Structure formats: C-alpha cells, structure tokens
Amino acid sequence: MRPLRRKKKYEVTQDPTTGKDRILNLTEEEDTLSDQGSVDSAGLHRKYFLDCGCDSGTGGRCYECGAISCTSCHGRCHSCQKPICLEHSNFLQAKGKESIRLCRCCYGSITRKQRLARVGRFFLSLLMEEE
C-alpha cells in the first residue's frame, strides 16, 4: 500500500560551534488509503535528547560551550550570572550554607583569593610569633 501523503515537521536549533542545524523534534505523518476505501493516518513523533542527556524541558544554552541543557542541569554563575551547563559548573561549598555554582573564571578568581589570604595569614602568624 503506497502512501497518499507524507508529512515531516522538524523543530531545529542552530548549533553555535558548527553553525549547522540540530534537530530537537521530528514529527512524521503518513496518510494511506485502506482496502475499505478510508484514508488512514499514522504518525511518529521522535524527540532528540538535549546535550546533557536528559529528556525534559529546555533550560538554556551554556555560554562556554554552547550546549543546550535541561532546566535541572542548567544554571547561572552565582557571581557573574552567566548561563552555564552542569559540565562547566564548579561548585564551592560555603561554611554552613549550600554549595554555590560558579563559572570557570569566577571559581578561579575566588580560589586564588582564598590561597593568597591563606599564605598571608601564614606569614603574618610567623611575624607575630617572633615578637
């Protein structure tokens, strides 16, 4: 039985790294003529996973890699508010608080400040002991 009509509908987005279209959803529908003379429709709906591997609502695009992640994996840097995916997130545990999500630049800046303060306290403690 040959189909009378085929319909395909693609939902695409542009991949920022390659510039090519990436398929998010594909809907196929086929109308055929049955032996009884009626027009029968059969459809297929394919959903492609997001870059994070989840299959839920789209949360946003990472500013570092351009990956599209879901709402649970997507977040923003606590310091600069840039959107980041789970792969490029660095988490910093504050004392008595929940961990905060930071981008690579802000995480590096904060850890450098912490190391410098630790070294400064060490040398200051050496000076205080000698007196």
Q: Residue 74 is which amino acid?
A: H
| Residues 110 and 92 reside in one and the same domain | yes
pLDDT tens figures, 56-82: 778 888 898 888 888 888 899 999 999
Residue with tokens 């002991």: 129
2 with 34, same domain? yes
pLDDT tens profile 8-28? 887 777 665 567 777 767 788
Predicted confidence (pLDDT) per residue in 35-47, tens digit: 887 888 887 776 6
Question: 38: domain range?
Answer: 1-48
Within this chain, do residues 11 and 65 fall inside the same structural domain, yes or no?
no
71 and 117 inside one domain: yes
Whether the Cβ atoms of residue 27 and residue 9 lie closer than 8 Å to each other? yes
CATH number at residue 111: 3.30.40.10
Lookup: tokens for 127: 């000076």
Q: Are residues 41 and 84 in the same domain?
A: no
Say yes or no: 60 and 108 in one domain.
Answer: yes
Q: Are residues 79 and 131 in the same domain?
A: yes
Domain count, the chain: 2
- Do 78 and 24 share a structural domain? no
Neighbours of 70 (CB within 10 A): 20
Distance of CA 109 to CAs 21, 60, 113, Å?
36, 25, 6
